[in-house]
Amino acid sequence: MYWTLELASKLEDAPWPATKEELIDFAIRSGTPLEVIENLQEIEDEGEIYESIEDIWPDYPTKDDFFFHEDEY
């Protein structure tokens, strides 16, 4: 399983919080790349509810990771 910023961003509009099955269903219905669906299928699931993409990919960058201030633009 590998995540890139581009792949993970496809799940930004997912219906959070969600189960693994709900995320897979969303990915299929929204036409995400096959790699996203494969990554979701590889998650070891114990019936967990995921609150955000950070629960799946902890290294997902947040707005705080970027070095610009939205107020300046």
pTM: 0.80
Of the candidates 59, 62, 55, 65, which has an alpha carbon nearest to the alpha carbon of residue 16? 55
Is residue 45 included in any domain, yes or no? yes
Instruction: Report yes or no on 68 lying in a domain.
Output: no
Which residues form the domain of 19? 14-58
Per-residue pLDDT, 59: 81
For residue 4, being part of any structural domain is answered with: no
Q: Is residue 50 part of a domain?
A: yes
> Residue 57's CB: how many other CB atoms inside 10 A?
18
The count of structural domains within the chain is 1
pLDDT score, position 69: 56
pLDDT along the chain (73 residues), means of 10: 88 93 96 95 89 88 59 60
- Res 2: pLDDT: 84
The answer to whether residue 27 is domain-embedded is yes
* Structural domain includes residue 24: yes
Structure tokens at 46: 């114990």
| Domain membership flag for residue 3 | no
